[in-house]
Structure formats: C-alpha cells, structure tokens
Amino acid sequence: MSITRLANFASILEDATRAQAERTASMPFVRPHLALMPDAHLGKGATVGSVIPTEGAIIPAAVRVDIGCGMMAVRTQFARADLTGDLTELHRAISSAIPLSAGRYNQHVVASAAPRVAELEALEGIEQADEIGPRWRLQLGSLGSGNHFIEVSLDEDDAVWLFLHSGSRGVGNKLAQKHIKIAQEQCARRFIRLPDPDLAYLVEGDPEFWSYIAALRWAQRFALLNREEMMQRVVDCLSAWQGEPVQRLEEVNCHHNYTERETHLGREVWLSRKGAIDAHAGIPGLIPGSMGDLSYVVRGKGHVGSLCSSPHGAGRNFSRSAARKRFTRADLDEWMSGIAWGNSDAFLDEHPQAYKPIDVVMNDAKDLVEVVHTLRQIVNVKGN
C-alpha cells in the first residue's frame, strides 16, 4: 500500500467508489491524505468508509447527515445457559421499550432521559437544535430505521452482550442538511467550482464555520446520550426478563460519523470519520457485521497511514433497491435461523449478503485493530 493523497485499505473496492474518494482527496485543504477503510462504498458527496483530514476548512457532508451515528455495547454477567426463557418475549419487550423506525418518538421524556435532556439543554448549539428540531427531547431514546439495530449477542465464551447502533436521529439530520446547504451557498457566493456539490465546504474563521462546529458537537453529544438512554432501557428489559439486575462488566460507546480536532503526521487537522471509528493505540471500538453475521469488539493499533482509524462495519455491496430484487425472504429466513428477529419482508434490504463479507473487512483491518471479542446475535431488533 502506498500513501499519496489516498491511502486505501480496502481489498474490495468498486471503481466508482475509488473515483469518489479521489475527488474528495483532491480538495486543496485535505492534508496529509485521505484514508479509505476496508468497508468503503459510495456515499453522498464523500465516500462512506473514508477518513478526511482538513486544514482551514470543513466539509459538512463528510460527516453524513446522521451526525454522531455509532455503536454501544455492554457485556453482562450472564452466559447463554442463564437465558432460559423464550427469546421472542425479550425481543418483544425491547421493541416495546424503545420507539423503532423513522419518525417514531417517545410520548414524553422519561425519568432516565431527563438528566440527559438537561445536559443537552445546557450545551452550545441548543439554540440551533431548538429552532430546527424542537421535538428532539422526544427523539432521545429512539432507534430509527435502516441498519440501526439493537441486539443481544454472545461472545466466544458464550457471555451475553447487549449491542446497539444509532445516532442523532431527526434533529441531527436536520442540522446536517442545514449546514450542507449553507456550505453550498458559501461556495457559490465565492464562485468556487466543486467536483461534487456535496463537497461544499465552510472556511475556518467565518461565522458559518463556527456555527456548524457548535451544531456538530451538540449533535454528536446527542447521539452518544441517545445510545446511553436506549442501552439503559435494554438493560432494564434484560434485568426484568431474567429477574436479576444486569451487571455492566465491560462497556464501549463510540461514534463512526463525526469530526474531532486531532494531530496526524505532525499536522493539527479537523478529522472527519465518515463511516470509520477511532483506532488510536489502545482505544476500544465496535465493528458490527450485517444482520445475521458476526460483530467485533476491537482495540486500536494506532496505524499512522490509516490516520488511527478503522472500519465501522461491513459496508454495502448492493443498494437497498438492488438487494430487494436480488434476495428472497426464504433466503433471509435461513440466514436468521436461531435468531429472534422481526420476521418481516421489510428487512429484506438488510440481507447479510447485501453487505461485504465481514471476514474480508476484518482481514483488511488486521493492521488497524486487534479483535478482543467476537459476537454472534441471538436477538435482533430493528425498525422498518
């Protein structure tokens, strides 16, 4: 692998995906180079599975619209042998405790969410959130749809883990769309020609830049607290189902769509991970496979060329529409055998084979992370 403007770690990479990443890497403020993760695939503007360091500017679309999307996992004291009840009942309890699917929110702010709401109300960026998404308080503790999920999984020793994937919900999406539009207006006002309209950027020092940073940081915190709130409810569900309080023996909560100020190869940059996790040496992370496939708890190796990053999942091989045409419900049922799940045609576009093989992705990432635990699902809860 050579490092020029583009460092590629993907052995499965479509020509169109590479071309898209090269367009982003060609932006004059992308330095020292763009790193392409093993799960890279086409995205809107910037490639999903790319790590984009910028100096003096930032590309709002390089974070995606689900600002702060990421994973959370908790290892419990239970083993598989301890779970003697009907797992479909646990699936039903989790589905009832957490609003699923796009546009579905809580009826009111529950007790566990109240301090998290209060924290967000005190942060810079709250004015933008209240203006553009005044119902955000009811969104805290909701899952969403697509590839967002809640799972009960087992590791290599049959220990029970709780695992979930979600982000900043509707309010984060609206904040992102607002600032992507502002960036496009700013570039048009300056007569800047872009290789892709979604690579529009904000210039550091301008008021619009700092307004975006405030919104970004607020939404990233919302996303992390949203996962915490959902995990609390999942923990409560398992505790009630088992008749015994859950002990949190190990816990990881990490973003994979976000921007931070970091130093790489001697440069202080705005580092945007669009479908990638922090893999600095010793940092814990989570890499989920597709529905019905393995997931991983990992530890970063601090690989310099990857900008201390690693993949965030399997990465799509087929679009949602292509997956619906290609795969059958009978095949999905076979893949999900032995797992309590939603048993619905609505999840056909999430078929495991619509994604890259997770074992290939993990092999490509062997220099980026070490595997600490390997997880397999026994319960999968999704919104449709």
Which residues are catalytically annotated? 312
Judge contact between 380 and 351, C-beta under 8 A. Answer: no
Helix 87-97 × helix 207-242 angle, to 10°:
140
C-alpha 292/C-alpha 274 separation (Å) is 24
Q: Is the CB of residue 129 less than 8 Å from the CB of residue 175?
A: yes
Element (H, E) at 213: helix 207-242
- The C-alpha angle 326, 327, 332, rounded to 5 degrees, equals 170
Nearest-5° angle of CA 147, CA 86, CA 342?
25
**Best CA proximity match to 63, nearest among 307, 274, 312:** 274
DSSP assigned state of 316: B
Nearest to 129 by CA among 224, 219, 258, 229: 219
Compute how many other C-beta atoms are within 10 angstroms of the C-beta atom of residue 356: 26
DSSP helix/strand/coil, 99: coil
352 to 150, 259, 313, 344: CA distances (angstroms): 16, 29, 12, 15
